Amino acid sequence: MENVRMEKICFIIYVCSLFSILCCLDKVNCKTQSLDVIIKSDPEITQFYSLLEGCNICNYTLEYEPLTVFAPINAAFQKRNISQQDRENLAQYHLTNIPKKIEQLGVSYTSINTRLPGGAPIWITISRGKFHDSYYVNNARLLDNESNIVGIKTPSKGSPITQILHKIDEVLLPTRSPLSSATPVFNPNAWEFLENHESLIQGPHRVRNFRQRVQYFKKENIFRTEGGHTFFIPVDEGFANNRASMIDSYIIDGHVIPREVLFTTPTKKDHPFHTLANSDNVIRVVISFTQEQRENTVINYVKSHTLFADGKHPQGVVLAEIVKANIPVKNGVIHLIHKPLMIVDSTIKELLQDKNGGILNNFFNDINDFDPEGKLILRTIERSPDVTLFAPCNSALDNPIVNNIKRDKQKYLEILQMHVVVDNRLYVDTVMKGNEHKVFQAPTLIKGKNLYFNVVTLGGNRTMSVEGGGVNATVIQPDLAAKNGIIHVIDRVLGVPYSTVLEKLSTDPMLRDTFELGQMQQFNAQLNETNKKFTYFVPRNKAWQDAKVVMPSAIKKLFMYDYAYHAITTLQRHLVISDEVFTMERIKQMTRHREVNQTNRTNALEPPAVELPTLRGSLKIFVEERMDNTYVIHWEELEIPVFRPNVECTNGIIHVIDRPFLKKGDIRVSSASNTKPSILVFVLAIAFTKIIRF
């Protein structure tokens, strides 16, 4: 950029030397344009220029003093209403004493005094990026291709002065009382802000309750500490339910992030920052910022996460909307929030209803609209002391596929029930511990419909996903705490299939091996057809790995290109194409009918099998439901656990199974083993049975 600028200046010099008469007639100093001329002639910052013009002192400053100008572009003035009172001296809040190029602005949380009376500081944040860094003053971003503009003023006497211009995308607004007020406050620190909030906050918000609690616990000093900190102050409207009395010393600490000045735009979202409530053995609270996009507006939230809890302060996350963000003060920045952090005094139902916690409104309305069944769900949620609710966010519910399903009331009711787990608080931590040895799952309000969980840790980010009825949803707001349980906000509605069998296979890492096997000779292609109904028994990766232990070379060959024919014939046995889908429940039911009809069975010991029409003959299986509501498929001599039944897809259903249906002759390993195929199956059967019954 420096080079470009230099080139530009050189070009100007060059042009001017060619046309020196013209240039100098225009009284422009050819080598060194002065900053006031640059600002005046720039069509992008005319609004700012008119502010400058209205400021007599600024005229003098620009004429005679070194400085840095942060000039909001015209679009910035359109973004917010600037009252007449705001405009008073506003230009001076955009001027600082020392000319600084971007790279000289300092490090994050550096403050620079402005020329506003009282010298109120502005705060620098550097947001490190992969390719280039972004610089912010308060919440405004420096436009990188339009900053570092240097002007030189050559006064009639003395040495030339350097002046620097940076353009920014927001107007900077200082925190100060109206000039008309009896005891004007300039450049307050956070405590002075609390004391004088009536004159400092424009708009309806008041913060009396919180201030009183701070005084009661004599914690004024944490709001007076010099340096740069971030303060969250709940407004009076958030003090229903006698909440004020619940605010204690720890909770006040939990509203301050020390030594970080965090404005909403540059701050990394969902990144935890330590608060003053940060003790290893008593209580520890971190705070992060998060956002929701609603139509065209971005709503900022802040979350407190109580990691170590005691009897009075429950574990979990409390979410509060930021009602007024980015109020700069002498020792940092203040955000006004709609209710206090850390306090858990609402039930799950109340959290859902909370109109300020609007992130969940649609879900509540959907349940509530179902009379009487939905109300019954709500009553169940109210009564259980330990609910875990998976609540789809508003945009997940506002989706054409979901709207379509809503027409089938019974189906949609089941879907809603699938989002509720009772008598178990499934914090992300709980799921992580539970996942160490096996895949963690939990029953829902519908019998037989379990949820399955996974937590992936990537570069310090923990992401929990949940699968229900074939839909894999990501938890976007984990561990929201309520008195009687927790809510995880998810990005998709569970149980509403949105992908074809093929799409599911190709995206679920657990099914990758079967997917790859089916890529041979385009076996998979048919699975994307939407005019058919598939029932596909899909061995998961582990199933193939286990099979490999028993018959290493056969399985290895199966996955080799030369043996594609065998791969296809094997897969064909797993795939049923019919005009209906076969859920586990349905297969089991069919089995029962058979049982009745086959009273005169020849071999009473053999379980009565159901025959499903696969692409390769019929698949004779018998489905058994175990005490723990899991299913086992009996096939040939094998007992095959169903790892995940009834994964619904738009064109069928997948049953994830723990062993492949492999038969003699499926793979001709070599002429030697080919001679005794029946023994192979027999050995396999015994080995598998052993694995199952470990």
Binding residues for ligand NAG, rule: CB under 6 A, are: 36, 59, 62-63, 80-81, 145-146, 269-270, 452-454, 456, 458-459, 461, 465-467, 472, 500, 502-503, 507, 509, 528, 530, 590, 593-594, 597-598, 600, 602
Which residue number, 256 or 610, has a Cβ lying nearer to ligand NAG? Answer: 610
Residue closer to ligand NAG by CB (options 4, 679) is: 4
Can you tell me the distance from the alpha carbon of 343 to that of 244, in angstroms, rounded to the nearest whole number?
10
Q: How many CB atoms lie within 10 A of CB 22?
A: 11
Closest separation between CB of residue 375 and ligand NAG, Å? 30
Q: Angle of helix 541-550 relative to helix 677-692, nearest 10 degrees?
A: 120
Tell me how far, at minimum, the Cβ of 499 lies from ligand NAG, in Å: 9
CB of 290 to ligand NAG, least distance (A): 9
Q: Which is nearer to ligand NAG, 225 or 435 (CB)?
A: 435
Choice between 270 and 423, CB closer to ligand NAG: 270
Report the residue closest to ligand NAG, judged by CB.
459
User: Least distance to ligand NAG from the beta carbon of 383, Å?
Assistant: 28
Of the pair 456, 683, the CB lying nearest ligand NAG is at 456
Give CA–CA dist 308/279, Å, rounded: 9
**Minimal distance in Å, beta carbon 528 to ligand NAG?**
4
Return the number of the residue (281 or 530) whose C-beta is nearest ligand NAG.
530
Q: Which residues contact 671 (CB under 8 A, 6 or more apart)?
A: none
- Select 324 or 594, whichever has its Cβ closest to ligand NAG: 594
Q: What is the 3-state secondary structure (H, E, C) of 612-669?
A: EEECCCEEEEEEEECCCCCEEEEECCEEEEEEEEEEEECCEEEEEECCCCCCCCCCCC
Nearest distance, CB of residue 470 and ligand NAG, angstroms: 10
Q: Are β-strands 387-392 and 485-490 bridged in parallel, bridged antiparallel, or unpaired? A: parallel
Shortest CB 509 distance to ligand NAG, Å: 5
Q: Which of 168, 103, 104, 165 is nearest to 132 (CA)?
A: 103
Q: Cα separation of 289 and 321, whole Å? A: 10
Shortest distance (Å) from residue 294 CB to ligand NAG: 16
- Rounded to whole angstroms, the maximal C-alpha distance in the chain is 119
Nearer to ligand NAG by Cβ, of 578 and 673: the residue is 578
469 Cβ contact partners less than 8 Å away, ≥ 6 residues apart: 415, 418, 449, 494, 495, 496, 497, 646, 647, 648
Checking phi first, is residue 579 left (phi over 0); if not, alpha (psi -120 to 50) or beta?
Answer: alpha
Question: CA dist 289 to 243, 264, 438, 477, Å?
Answer: 23, 7, 33, 11
Q: Which residues pair with 284 in a beta bridge?
A: 278, 308
Q: Which is nearer to ligand NAG, 108 or 384 (CB)?
A: 108
Straight-line distance from the first to the last Cα atom of the chain, in angstroms, rounded to the nearest whole number: 67
Q: How far is the CB of 446 from ligand NAG (least distance, A)?
A: 18
